[in-house]
Amino acid sequence: MSNPGQTTEPQGLSAGGSFSRRQGWIILGLIAGALLAWMVFGIWPAWLNAILISKKAFVSAILNGLTLSGLYFLVASGFTLVFGLMRNVNLAHGSLYLLGAYVGYEVSTRTGYWLLGLAAGFIVLAALGALMQVLVFRKLEGDDLRQTLVTIGISIVAADLMLATWGGTTYQFQLPEWLEGAVSLPIITAIKSNGTTVYLNYPLYRMLVLVAAIVIGIGLWLILNRTRVGMMIRAGVDDRAMLSASGVNVHMVFTVVFALGAGLAGFAGVVGGSVLSVAPGEDVRYLLASLVVVIVGGMGSISGAAIGALLIGLAEQIGLVYFPTYGVVLTFVIMVITLSIRPQGIMGKA
């Protein structure tokens, strides 16, 4: 699996001239893509079923992995955005996620509208994030280490206060009716002996999580690359001092970015809490996920967060199905390999 692209290099498809490295990778990607497409849409022969348990298990693992990737992307994109601009490793990011979930839960159960809970999760956390930036992090600007230590302190206090308020019980969101149920996907899992084909059913809500993550990812990309604020943010990532010198109110940009990052964490909290559940300890889980995603993808890069989330989410779910005990280790191995080959992460700047 390592690099068949290079072995087919000279003789293969093109008669004149050899492949560049890049073309090799593209062909490798196409082959892998075609193989995956066949594995998802084709009908499996018996031997493949024997190796990979069943087609249903495999495709479900991939779909669950994609859903989880979407969720991880939502959490990690805020984390990486804040890090990229302010060099602030916000170790309270997991707490923001969990608080968003609790706020969303409270609002949606009291009003009865799930969407209202989602909006509240984003808005309340964004306001809180702006407040944190103005009251706390602005005071410690330029001192990365102390900022990080402060976020640790905040996460401890926040976890304890949330435990005091909401207790140790697990909360379950009540999804609105239009989000419940399953959709039948055009993926054949098996053909029964009487000739009827069985299609894969997958929860509608999980599909929507993935769609939401993609939409938000595109939205973030548009904000960063097509708006004036985005231009300032990108300039700030590259050279904070120069941005400030050219007359931009850097503090304002910082506050906007921190609010956006915290808001995304809160949004992800409601979305993730609805897929899984809301309970103490989730903050640590999502903090770890964001850390690994951002380390693998490259710190400060949105596209890196997307790639990292995809890798980690898929690895976690596939690991869960095929080697249940060592699923965590798989993500860890990915992290170590990335660090040893590219210490700055896949999309990170050196």
Q: CB under 8 A: which stretch of 8-16, 38-46, 194-202, 322-330 binds another protein?
A: 322-330
- Positive or negative torsion for Cα 188, 190, 196, 200: negative
Supply the Cα-derived Rg of the chain in whole angstroms.
Answer: 22
The token pair at 161 is: 């206060």
Cβ 295 vs Cβ 344: under 8 Å: no
**Min CB(150)–another protein separation in Å:** 6
150 in contact with another protein (CB under 8 A): yes
Cβ 271 vs Cβ 212: under 8 Å: yes
Per CB under 8 A, the list member of 153, 176, 181, 219 interacting with another protein is: 153
109 in contact with another protein (CB under 8 A): no
For another protein, which is the closer residue by CB, 4 or 153?
153
For another protein, which is the closer residue by CB, 85 or 212?
85
**Min CB(263)–another protein separation in Å:** 22
337 in contact with another protein (CB under 8 A): no
The token pair at 224 is: 């960063």
Query: Interface residues for another protein in 121-140 (CB under 8 A)?
Result: 139-140
**Min CB(93)–another protein separation in Å:** 11
Residue with tokens 């693992």, as numbered in its chain: 61
Helix (H) or strand (E) holding 256: helix 250-275
Cβ 345 vs Cβ 295: under 8 Å: yes
Q: CB under 8 A: which stretch of 153-161, 194-202, 236-244, 249-257 binds another protein?
A: 153-161
What is the rounded end-to-end Cα distance, in angstroms, of the chain?
Answer: 27
For another protein, which is the closer residue by CB, 81 or 216?
81
Amino acid at 259: A
**Min CB(324)–another protein separation in Å:** 8
Per CB under 8 A, the list member of 71, 210, 270, 292 interacting with another protein is: 292
Helix (H) or strand (E) holding 49: helix 46-51
How many other CB atoms are there within 10 angstroms of residue 153's CB atom? 13
Contacts of residue 292, defined as CB under 8 A and 6 or more positions apart, other chains included, come to: 308, 312, 331, 332, 334, 335
325 in contact with another protein (CB under 8 A): yes
For another protein, which is the closer residue by CB, 295 or 307?
295
Which positions touch another protein (CB under 8 A)?
Answer: 87, 89, 91, 139-140, 143-146, 148-150, 152-154, 156-157, 159-161, 164, 284, 288, 291-292, 294-295, 299, 324-329, 331-332, 335-336, 339-340, 343
